[in-house]
Chain A
Amino acid sequence: MIAILIEWASGAMIITGSIFIVIGAIGLVRMPDLYTRIHAASVTDTLGAGLLLGGLMLQSGLSLVTLKLAFLLGLFFFMGPVASHALAQAALQEGIEPLLREDRRHREAGSGESGEAR
Chain B
Amino acid sequence: MRHASLGLMLFAFWLALSGHYTPFLIAVGVVCALACVAVARRMDTGDAEGHPTHLLGGAITYFPWLVLEIVKSAWTVSKIIMNPRLPISPTMTVVDASQKTSVGIATYANSITLTPGTITTHVRGKRLTVHALIRGGALDLEGGAMDARVTKFEGGA
- Chain A contact residues, CB within 8 Å of chain B: 20, 23-24, 26-27, 30-33, 35-36, 38-40, 42-43, 46-47, 50, 64, 67-68, 71, 77-78, 80-82, 84-85, 88-89, 92, 98-105, 107, 109-115, 117-118
Contact = CB atoms under 8 A, between A and B. Distances in A.
Given A101-B90, A114-B126, 17 more contacts: A20-B74, A26-B81, A31-B86, A35-B131, A39-B77, A42-B77, A47-B74, A64-B16, A71-B16, A81-B110, A81-B114, A85-B110, A85-B120, A98-B92, A98-B131, A102-B91, A107-B94
Contacts of B129: 105, 118
A114 B116 CA distance: 27
Contacts of A43: 74, 77-78, 81, 116
B93 interface: yes
- Dominant secondary structure at the B interface: mixed
B144 A39 contact: no
A57 to B, nearest CB: 14
Interface string B27-68: 000000000000000000000000000000000000000010
B133 interface: yes
B16 A68 contact: yes
B25 to A, nearest CB: 14
A103 B16 contact: no
The 8 closest A-B pairs by CB, nearest first: A81-B113, A27-B81, A47-B74, A104-B93, A101-B89, A81-B110, A39-B133, A42-B116
